Amino acid sequence: MAGLGFLSGVSSLAIIYWWLRPHRLDARKRLRALESKLKDMEKYQLEINTIKRGLVEREASTTQKLLSINKQLAASQAGFREQLSKHDNLISTVTAKLIPPEPSALGLHPTPPPVSPADEVTADYSAAVQRNDRATIRELTVAGLNITQESEEAMTRGTSTSRTQLQVVTGGGSYLLIQRGGRHWLCPTAQTLESFTTNKPQKGIYDYEEQTSISFAELKKPAEVMQVDEGIWEVISKGIVLAPI
């Protein structure tokens, strides 16, 4: 009986072993599959970590390159500014050597003030009179003028309160109309100017300045006139005649 019990137990174990064997094989397969997946995951994680390290290294390398480029650019700009400054200094030096300063800047030959139209008329007309250059006088002259009868009568009566007026005459005149600088000037003819040596008429055209250093009357400044009507001119600024004492 004891032998039968032992055999029965062994048989039971054998039956259990054969029943459990497929499950054990399946569990081992699953375990090996899990181990394989775990290895794959570890491999992927290593690859991810490698990629991350590569990105970090590339970013650091790019940053270093940008810093290097910025330094080179700053150095180039500084060098360019230095070269530009040297170039400007060279141009200034060469210009100063080639172009001399203005005489007025040296204080040797100050620039004379501009000549007024009245002074130009005085100089040109007086020079022509001294040379007895009738051709030049004709070129300068626009018309010959005489004092109007109304102005003469008012001055004779001593009732003149207005400016002296003159009218254009043909075939001569005691005064000559000259245009210069967009304005009109009145000069005495050579004969009229000569008469001022001994006679100083108060016609409202000229004032007189007596001089001891001259023997004949000279024109210092022409009178200025303005046209007020057809052929009629009016004195708006009296001239000056130098007369001997």
pLDDT, tens only, 82-126: 777 776 777 777 676 666 666 554 555 667 788 899 999 999 999
pLDDT at residue 103, as a whole number: 57
Among the residue ranges 8-12, 38-42, 53-57, 216-220, the one predicted with the least confidence is 8-12
Query: Is residue 90 located within the same domain as residue 10?
Result: yes
3-state secondary structure of 105: helix
- Domain for residue 84, yes or no? yes
Q: What's the rounded mean pLDDT across residues 215-222?
A: 96
Q: What angle do CA 107, 108, 110 make, to 5 degrees?
A: 70
Query: Is residue 54 located within the same domain as residue 94?
Result: yes
- Domain for residue 111, yes or no? no
Q: pTM for the complete prediction?
A: 0.55
Q: Which of 54, 81, 105 is the last residue of a domain?
A: 105
Q: Which of 70, 105, 140 is the last residue of a domain?
A: 105
Could you give the percent of the chain with pLDDT greater than 70? 81
pLDDT band for position 178 (cuts 50, 70, 90): very high
Among the residue ranges 21-30, 44-53, 149-158, 221-230, the one predicted with the least confidence is 21-30
Q: Where in the sequence is the domain holding 206, given as residue range(s)?
A: 117-244
Between 12 and 210, the more confident residue is 210
pLDDT at residue 50, as a whole number: 86
- Domain for residue 110, yes or no? no
pLDDT band for position 38 (cuts 50, 70, 90): confident
CA–CA separation, 74 and 55 (whole Å) = 28
CA–CA separation, 235 and 244 (whole Å) = 25
Query: Is residue 71 located within the same domain as residue 39?
Result: yes
CA 12 to chain centre: 118
Judged against a pLDDT cut of 80, whether residue 13 lies above it is answered with: no
Among the residue ranges 12-26, 157-171, 227-241, the one predicted with the least confidence is 12-26
Pick from 200, 201, 223, 222: nearest CA to 155: 201
Question: How many independent structural domains does the chain possess?
Answer: 2
CA–CA separation, 76 and 113 (whole Å) = 52
Please report, for residues 52, 119, 122, 127, 191, the alpha-carbon distance to residue 116 in angstroms, rounded to integers and kept in the order given.
90, 5, 10, 17, 26
Q: Which amino acid is at 66?
A: L
Judge whether 217 and 241 are in contact, CB under 8 Å.
Answer: yes
CA–CA separation, 19 and 24 (whole Å) = 10
Query: Is residue 183 located within the same domain as residue 64?
Result: no
Between 14 and 137, the more confident residue is 137
Query: Is residue 101 located within the same domain as residue 52?
Result: yes
- Domain for residue 112, yes or no? no
What residue spans of 103-243 are helical by DSSP H?
A: 103-106, 117-131, 134-140, 149-157, 190-195
Judged against a pLDDT cut of 70, whether residue 220 lies above it is answered with: yes
**Chain segment 130-168, per-residue pLDDT in tens:** 999 999 999 999 999 999 999 999 988 887 778 999 999
At 29, give phi and psi (nearest 5°).
-60, -45
Judged against a pLDDT cut of 60, whether residue 243 lies above it is answered with: yes
Query: Is residue 125 located within the same domain as residue 204?
Result: yes
Between 107 and 43, the more confident residue is 43
pLDDT at residue 68, as a whole number: 84
pLDDT band for position 211 (cuts 50, 70, 90): very high
Q: Which of 105, 138, 160 is the last residue of a domain?
A: 105
123-144 burial, b at 16+ Cβ within 10 Å, e below that, comes to ebbbebbeeeeeeebeebbebb
The pLDDT mean for the chain works out to: 84
- Domain for residue 169, yes or no? yes
Strand locations in the chain, DSSP E? 141-147, 165-169, 175-180, 183-188, 206-211, 218-221, 223-229, 232-237, 239-244
